[in-house]
Chain A
């Protein structure tokens, strides 16, 4: 018993759990963009960094409440998401992948060269406001919100765009508008995640938000299953815990991610849990039970 309690209060484990939750929120955002709407983004980490620096600077210079800083961090990321999304989605074809890739590098360079962000030396002294309870409350809230979104007229429109844009358009869906809204929501979550990260690590460095971080988050989403919320949670958990506890995974991380991505794309393009719809399984099970009951009723 004591061993269990000390596990739960061990600061190292708590820190790992918090980080995992922070990445889960970012991954859930990318899930909405890539898994649900079908738009590839290779610069998700840039939106994390925008949320991180915005909220950290607010904490440091304005002293505004943490919850407000979180919110503004998310909104600032979403604002840049919209600014980048408009030209990217206006062009026909998958331009978002290219523009987000470029955007990611630009943001990094800008943060390295700005004075207020501490430049390449990083930004320290951020108050530690994030804890495991805050993180997982937001994870639960995000999952709940995404679940509701996906099972609504709005979410179905995003799915329709992923499945077949021409057909979606012919059903009365404005693809530009919906892609933009999906992207704004996804980048908002990235911004919130970055803000939590800033107030957990208490130190930010632009190098932490480069392409490899974006690629890592994309891996979280792809491994578990594109388009699946449980898959995203699973993928993030496995891929954040493995390098913590397995030394060789830590050392060859990028290599493993690359290999994993290729393997998944070939053998299970929809991820470990992709294509498995728990809601549908449940509804089927209920329908079966009901028909069995009806049969019994008829016989009896």
Chain B
């Protein structure tokens, strides 16, 4: 079986800085793979290239066998890749429900004329969007806050709303950039359960996270980046015992 996502020699320069250097990466359907590494290692940059926000300096991105390198974010989204942001990017002044409805954007097609006429087809589409939105809000446990303004949510809730918004499009691949950041242990436990449920729905997950316990207990495979280069790849147990990783990352945290 071919990989769902494949990065070949991905390289990104910012001026003189090499943020990601010749990075190869593969992700099979149904897997949960984590990308870890110290601050500034280039993890978020990898996400930004996959989702089309930055074009890579060199290298290719394949999704479902299709070359999506240099595609615009709004085209990549329609291919089935949804993401969350490390530094929360919600539609702050809109309601929780509207945030998720916007996440459904590529599942609808109503334009100006449809909006004005509200023909039966348009109403039916709105109904599907509403149902889908309520369903994903239920999954992340925010169904009772749908009328709340996104900005008024607690930090952990905002992170969950980001996940709901990404799920609303029924993606094949979900990119989560530090979903547990700023959460308390209890919230993290709930998040873990949530990700297991999402995985059971058949959604493939690529995860960037600093919380090692969290990463180790949920991932099938862990890749480690350091200064933009991949220094290790393997099961959580293998990576945890890799001396290179210990010096680069785990060592610097415990020591």
Instruction: Please tell me if the beta carbons of B112 and A156 are within 8 angstroms of each other in the complex.
Output: no
Shortest distance in angstroms between B222's beta carbon and chain A's nearest beta carbon?
Answer: 25
Any chain A CB within 8 A of the CB of B236?
A: no
Q: Mark B66-93, 1 if CB is under 8 A from A, else 0.
A: 0000001110011000110100011111
Give the residues from 149 to 165 in chain A that come closer than 8 angstroms, CB to CB, to chain B: 149, 151-157, 159-160, 163-164
Interface code B87-126, partner A: CB below 8 Å = 1, 0 otherwise?
Answer: 0011111110010011101101111101110100010011
Q: Which of B108, B110, B116, B147 contacts A280 (CB 8 A)?
A: B147
* Residue in A151, A154, A156, A172 whose Cβ sees the most chain B Cβ within 10 Å: A172
B165: interface (CB < 8 Å): yes
Are A172 and B169 touching (Cβ within 8 A)? yes
Question: Which residues of the partner chain B approach A157 to less than 8 Å between Cβ atoms?
Answer: 102, 105
A171 engages B103 (CB within 8 Å): yes
**Cα-based distance from A85 to B95 in the complex (angstroms):** 29
Q: CA A46 – CA B129 in complex, angstroms?
A: 39
Within 8 A of A (CB), among B106-152: 106, 108-112, 114-116, 118, 122, 125-126, 129, 147
Pair A156/B74 contact, Cβ less than 8 Å: no
Contact in complex: B102, A155 (CB < 8 Å): no
- Contact among A163, A171, A283 with B77 in the assembled complex (CB-CB below 8 Å): A171
Encoded as 1 (CB less than 8 Å from any A CB) or 0, chain B from 224 to 239 comes to 0000000000000000
**Interchain CB contact under 8 A, A170 and B73:** yes
Contact among A149, A163, A174, A185 with B74 in the assembled complex (CB-CB below 8 Å): A174
Check if B53 is an interface residue, CB within 8 A of chain A: yes
Beta-carbon contacts under 8 Å, A120-176 to B: 145, 148-149, 151-157, 159-160, 163-164, 166-175
**CB nearest to B112 among chain A residues:** A154
Residues of chain B within 8 A of A153, CB atoms compared: 101, 105, 108-110, 114-115, 125-126, 129
The smallest beta-carbon distance between A93 and chain B, in angstroms, is 16
Q: Is B11 an interface residue (CB 8 A)?
A: no
Q: Given the complex of chains A and B, what is the CA–CA distance between A275 and B151 in angstroms?
A: 12
Docked-complex contact B92 and A164, CB < 8 angstroms: yes
Provided the pairs A154-B111, A185-B112 are in contact, do residues A169 and B102 lie with their beta carbons within 8 angstroms? no
- A167 contact set on B, CB distance < 8 A: 85, 89-91
Q: Given the complex of chains A and B, what is the CA–CA distance between A145 and B82 in angstroms?
A: 32
Q: Does B51 contact A (CB under 8 A)?
A: yes
Given A154-B115, A156-B101, A172-B106, also A163-B53 (CB < 8 A): no
Interface size on A, residues (CB 8 A): 31
Give A152 to B110 CA distance when docked, in angstroms.
8
Given A164-B89, A169-B74, A171-B103, residue A152 in contact with residue B147 (CB < 8 A): no
Contact of B91 among A155, A164, A175 (CB under 8 A): A164
Q: Number of contacts between A and B (CB, 8 Å)?
A: 103
Residues of B within 8 A of A145 (CB): 116
Residues of B within 8 A of A155 (CB): 115
A181 within 8 A of B: yes
| Bound Cα distance from A284 to B146, whole angstroms | 11
Tell me, in angstroms, the Cα distance from A151 to B77 when the chains sit together: 23
With a 10 A CB-CB cut-off, give which of A145, A149, A168, A175 has the most chain B CB atoms.
Answer: A168
Tell me whether A148 and B78 are in contact (CB under 8 A): no
Complex Cα spacing A202 to B78, Å: 52
A60 interface contact, C-beta 8 A: no
Nearest residue (CB) in B for A181 is: B112
- Bound complex: CA of A168 vs CA of B103, how far in Å? 9
Instruction: Decide: B105 and A163 in contact? CB cutoff 8 A.
Output: no
Determine how close the nearest CB of chain B comes to the CB of A192; give it in whole angstroms.
15
Cα distance A153–B132 in the bound complex, in angstroms: 14
- Residue in A closest to B125 when the chains form the complex, CB atoms: A153
A172-B89 contact in complex given A155-B115, A157-B102, C-beta closer than 8 Å: no
Assuming the contacts A157-B102, A159-B98, asked whether A170 and B51 have C-beta atoms less than 8 A apart, the reply is yes
How far is B95's CA from A280's CA once the two chains are assembled, in angstroms? 9
The residues in B between 198 and 232 inclusive whose CB is less than 8 angstroms from any CB of A are: none
Name the distance in Å between A280's Cβ and chain B's nearest Cβ: 6
Residue A287 lies at the interface, judged by CB distance under 8 Å to chain B: yes
Alpha-carbon distance between A164 and B93 when the two chains are bound, in angstroms: 10
> Is the beta-carbon distance between A149 and B115 smaller than 8 angstroms?
yes
**CB-nearest residue of chain A relative to B91?**
A163
Residues of chain B lying within 8 A (CB to CB) of residue A160: 91, 94, 102, 105
CB-defined A-B contacts under 8 Å, sample of 24? A149-B112, A149-B115, A153-B108, A153-B114, A154-B110, A154-B111, A154-B112, A156-B94, A159-B94, A160-B91, A160-B105, A163-B94, A166-B53, A166-B73, A167-B91, A168-B102, A169-B53, A169-B72, A170-B51, A172-B78, A173-B74, A175-B74, A283-B147, A287-B147
Lowest 9 A-B CB distances belong to which pairs?
Answer: A152-B115, A172-B106, A163-B91, A172-B77, A167-B89, A153-B110, A169-B73, A172-B105, A153-B108
**Chain A interfacial positions (CB closer than 8 Å to B):** 145, 148-149, 151-157, 159-160, 163-164, 166-175, 181, 185, 275, 280, 283-284, 287
